[in-house]
Homo-oligomer: A and B are copies of this chain.
Amino acid sequence: MSKNSRALLLVAHGSRRTDSNDEIRELTARLREQASDRFASITCGFLELASPSIPDGIQECIDRGAQEVIVLPYFLSAGRHVVADIPELVAVKQQQYPDLSIKISGYLGSAEGIPNLLLSLVE
């Protein structure tokens, strides 16, 4: 799959606090700075309370021509949102576009580097 057809969608819970949602948008901009050579687009979506929704976020990627969408859950634990809600939303989109690949990557809390990152905060 070439860079030009691969989209990255960071998905967060969403908050009533605008600042929290803006933190996600800023993080998305930082991802874009670091990895725009690897993805045709890097955007974000929210499970609730903010927009775009996850289905709308995936749709935007598809509308821009993505053949592959990687959904990256910005969640700390494998709770209901990670285990059920996000996969269900993705499955609906995948059924709607059977010729495209819509995959969910590991969630943030599952990353091997978490302990090192935490320790970097206390040095």
Query: Which residues of A line the B interface, CB within 8 A?
Result: 8, 10, 12, 15, 17, 19-20, 23-24, 27, 30-31, 34-35, 38, 70, 72, 74, 76-79, 105-122
| B105 adjacent to A121 (CB under 8 Å) | yes
> Which residue from chain B places its CB closest to the CB of A75 in the assembled complex?
B76
Closest 9 CB pairs of A and B: A20-B77, A106-B121, A105-B121, A30-B115, A105-B122, A113-B117, A111-B117, A31-B115, A23-B77
Q: How many copies does the complex hold?
A: 2
Beyond A17-B79, A77-B23, A78-B19, is A70–B122 a contact (Cβ under 8 Å)? yes
Q: A27: which B residues are within 8 A, CB to CB? A: 114-115, 118
Alpha-carbon distance A122/B104, docked complex (angstroms): 9
Q: A35: which B residues are within 8 A, CB to CB? A: 115, 119
| B118 adjacent to A10 (CB under 8 Å) | yes
Q: A109: which B residues are within 8 A, CB to CB? A: 23
- Whole-angstrom distance from the CB of A72 to the nearest CB of chain B? 6
